[in-house]
Amino acid sequence: MSNSVNIGFLAGAFALVMGGQALYQHTTVEEDVNFTVTAKESIEKNSNSKYLVTTKNSEGEIEVFENTDAWLSGKFAASDVQGLFEEGCEYKADVYGWRVPALSMYRNIVSVESLGGEGCPAPQVQ
């Protein structure tokens, strides 16, 4: 009885996490944004990495985006993309999510392409 309760609890917890992630990824508006990278960083917590990309748009507004894998959107190469971002280069990205400062939540980059420029690598994640 104990093993079946544990398995049931784990299955329920997994379904809740995956269902919550699916709801978040597919109910928030996906939007195209253009920006210039002004900084990038990696935050490590409990052997997990979270990448942040600080940007400035054409109106001079600053926004920080998260660059993490989004399994349900088919993005699995966040580490590779982070390594290709260059400060001072301009990019076009599809992003989803909300910025919630109290929860340290950022909109996530789902796909990105370089808008060119000399010395600017072209991460192409679709």
Over the stretch 73-119, which tens digit does the pLDDT of each residue have? 778 889 888 988 999 999 999 999 888 899 888 999 998 988 877 77
Average pLDDT, the chain: 80
Four-residue CA torsion sign, 70, 93, 124, 50: negative
Enter the pTM of the model: 0.75
According to DSSP, residue 19 is labeled H
Domain 29-114, CATH homologous superfamily name and number: Nucleic acid-binding proteins (2.40.50.140)
Residues of the chain with pLDDT > 70, as a percent, come to 73
According to DSSP, residue 104 is labeled T
Residue-level pLDDT at 47: 77
User: What's the CA gap between 57 and 33, in Å, rounded?
Assistant: 8
Cα distances from 123 to residues 21, 42, 46, 114, 115, in angstroms, run 25, 17, 27, 6, 10
Residue-level pLDDT at 119: 79
